[in-house]
Structure 1
Amino acid sequence: MEDIAGMTVKNSLSRSVAINHATVRERANMITFLHLCAERGINVVSVWGNEIDKIGEGAALAALESHGITVSGYNRIGPFTPEYLDQAQFELERAARFGADHVFLFTGGLTEKDGDLGAARKHAEDEIARLLEMARRVGIKLAIEPLHPMLVGDRTVLASLSHANDLCEALGPGIGVVVDVYHVWWDERLEAEILRAGRAGRLLGFHVNDWLLPTRHLLTDRGMMGDGIIDLVSIDRMMRRSGFEGPVEVEIFSADWWARDPGEVLDIALSRCQQIFGSN
């Protein structure tokens, strides 16, 4: 697949493309990231609290306002350790100050001393219920992003859309799901669970990237859209049939792409989105 080189690619899809700062954060701090997005007509981003800390909240808010960029997702609350949960109220309130649509939940995986996956999941569910009450008071939504089952050991205990939908149904308003193709493309229930979430109005985001063969690292070897084996067109159509009207959000954790010029990475990402999602 050819890429557009040597030029800035504008975000010209009929529906918008959002960029998650994680895609270029190794070589672009938040100020640089927002400037690069604005140059390309990208007006929706997802942000990370630790990146805001690096430049200061005031500078981050001013940059967003000056470029006319809004925030979709705020990363994140978790892992669910007592120390981190003590910061949950602050994270929720800061996400609200940044006008974020939703805050991501990151449960963390199993510890060696635990070993009881059922108990770990029950603990995570109880903590999410507590966080939801806090989020409702702040006026911001919580987002469950189920991760690939390969990450249950060290990063999450929520590893399917079925589980996420069940939990959202049990907890009620104010919580929804984000579909990241990297984590759910394998699921035989994918279409049914996307439609289930769509009918309930709980689809909060759609993250795109690709699954490479071979995958050399479980976390930092995601592919650029079109470089791997995920049927992105089919999943996109599932999302549209479900009623989702939000942006296609590029989120790529990749040592290879992090090493490249961030402007070039954004140009290639926009070009690929135009090729893959532009006519669906």
Structure 2
Amino acid sequence: MSGEVSGRLSGRLSLNQWTTRHWPLPDLVEGCAAAGVSGVGLWREPVSEYGVGRAAKLVREAGLTVTSLCRGGFFQEPDAIEANRRAIDEAAELGAPLLVLVSGGLPPGSRDVDGARQNVADAIAELAPYAGERGVKLGIEPLHPMYASDRCVVSTLGQALDLALPHPPEQVGICVDTYHLWWDPLVWTDLVRAGDAGRIAIFQVADWITPLPEGVLTGRGMLGDGCVELRRFRRAVEAEGYVGPIEVEIFNEELWAMPGAEALALVVERFAEHVA
């Protein structure tokens, strides 16, 4: 297997940087270009270490597209608004059309999940106009409810959509991540709602494996190794008009231990087999 992308969806595959977490950015960019992967989803921490301006130039000169920047959010933090403004600025400098928002969990010592969700709504209302001015869309990502206490009080696609709808669609959309939403009993209905409102901002794929590894944050499965109906999700978002990038975002220690080019080749193979 050559590891090169082929087929009808070849132009839409994007490698999220965290899938090959330890692959240095220049090597990742070179590897994606060589494999015919035209998009990359970037993360703020490694981009900041490399330099935002340098990263933007590197990706641009390789002919790649930044499909998203992760992440903003964590609105329980006292400096969240200013931190998210910086994240929006970084996305704009990178040419990323989307800043992914992981809303954050409960403030320390709090049990008020309703209050935490209201805080998310208030923060998005404050940030959305600024993002619009910078040409960046905020993408609200619901996370599996096991993350609600510490990482994300937005757990369902419907909750994310309800937070997005008060704002112009060019300013706020939603992220559809199969790992987090495969279990949601209303996901198919809410995808129709999201499509009707023009709110699907990014489609991300990973599988759910059982049993989960000991480290829950690194428990995403390689495409095809778990129980998620990946192709059904892809067809569902396409039916609602989404024809944008499909990011492979997998947090997995075994995958991270592989050489970057080998991991990318496996991603390309499994994408063709289970998503395309």
Alignment TM-score, normalising by the size of structure 2: 0.94
Aligned to 1:166: 162
Cα offsets for 1:31-68 (capped at 9, x unmatched): 11111111101111111111111112232122112210
Question: Is residue 229 of structure 1 aligned with residue 224 of structure 2?
Answer: no
Residue 253 of structure 1 aligns to which amino acid in structure 2?
Answer: F
Cα offsets for 1:196-223 (capped at 9, x unmatched): 1111111111111100010123210110
Question: CA 1:112–1:93 in 2, change beyond 3 Å: closer, same or farther?
Answer: closer
Partner residue of 2:172 out of 167, 171, 175: 175
1:169, CA displacement in angstroms?
1.4
Aligned to 2:201: 204
- The answer as to whether partners of 1:221 and 1:256 remain within 8 angstroms in 2 is no
Aligned to 1:63: 58
2: CA distance, partners of 1:32 / 1:47: 14
- The answer as to whether partners of 2:67 and 2:245 remain within 8 angstroms in 1 is no
SS in 2 for 1:87: helix
- The answer as to whether partners of 1:177 and 1:203 remain within 8 angstroms in 2 is yes
- The answer as to whether partners of 1:77 and 1:85 remain within 8 angstroms in 2 is no
Residue 224 of structure 2 aligns to which amino acid in structure 1?
Answer: G
2: CA distance, partners of 1:30 / 1:42: 14
Aligned to 1:39: 34
- The answer as to whether partners of 2:204 and 2:249 remain within 8 angstroms in 1 is yes
1:111, CA displacement in angstroms?
3.4
Residue 107 of structure 2 aligns to which amino acid in structure 1?
Answer: T
Residue 78 of structure 1 aligns to which amino acid in structure 2?
Answer: G
1: CA distance, partners of 2:50 / 2:39: 19
- The answer as to whether partners of 2:47 and 2:55 remain within 8 angstroms in 1 is yes
1:140, CA displacement in angstroms?
1.3
Alignment TM-score, normalising by the size of structure 1: 0.93
RMSD: 1.3
SS in 2 for 1:37: helix
1:178, CA displacement in angstroms?
0.9
Cα offsets for 1:248-279 (capped at 9, x unmatched): 2100011111111111111011101111233x
Aligned to 1:214: 211
Residue 3 of structure 2 aligns to which amino acid in structure 1?
Answer: V
2: CA distance, partners of 1:206 / 1:158: 17
2: CA distance, partners of 1:57 / 1:206: 24
SS in 2 for 1:73: strand
Residue 17 of structure 1 aligns to which amino acid in structure 2?
Answer: L
Residue 257 of structure 1 aligns to which amino acid in structure 2?
Answer: L
1:11, CA displacement in angstroms?
1.5
SS in 2 for 1:100: coil
- The answer as to whether partners of 2:117 and 2:154 remain within 8 angstroms in 1 is yes
1:74, CA displacement in angstroms?
0.9
Aligned to 1:99: 95
- The answer as to whether partners of 2:176 and 2:202 remain within 8 angstroms in 1 is yes
SS in 2 for 1:207: strand
Question: CA 1:112–1:35 in 2, change beyond 3 Å: closer, same or farther?
Answer: same
Residue 237 of structure 2 aligns to which amino acid in structure 1?
Answer: M
1:13, CA displacement in angstroms?
2.9
- The answer as to whether partners of 2:138 and 2:173 remain within 8 angstroms in 1 is yes
Aligned to 2:247: 249
Residue 155 of structure 1 aligns to which amino acid in structure 2?
Answer: R
1: CA distance, partners of 2:72 / 2:56: 20
Taking the TM superposition and a 5 Å limit, the aligned residue runs for 1:180-195 are: 180-195=177-192
Aligned to 2:267: 269
Partner residue of 1:53 out of 30, 48, 62: 48
1:170, CA displacement in angstroms?
2.1
Aligned to 2:72: 77
1:71, CA displacement in angstroms?
0.8
- Specify every segment of 5 or more residues in structure 2 that has no aligned partner in the other structure, as ranges: none
1:85, CA displacement in angstroms?
2.7
1: CA distance, partners of 2:108 / 2:201: 33
Residue 7 of structure 2 aligns to which amino acid in structure 1?
Answer: L
SS in 2 for 1:47: strand
- Specify every segment of 5 or more residues in structure 1 that has no aligned partner in the other structure, as ranges: none
Cα offsets for 1:95-153 (capped at 9, x unmatched): 11111111111221113411110111111110111111211222211100100011001
1:83, CA displacement in angstroms?
2.5
Aligned to 1:137: 133
Residue 49 of structure 1 aligns to which amino acid in structure 2?
Answer: R
Residue 276 of structure 1 aligns to which amino acid in structure 2?
Answer: H
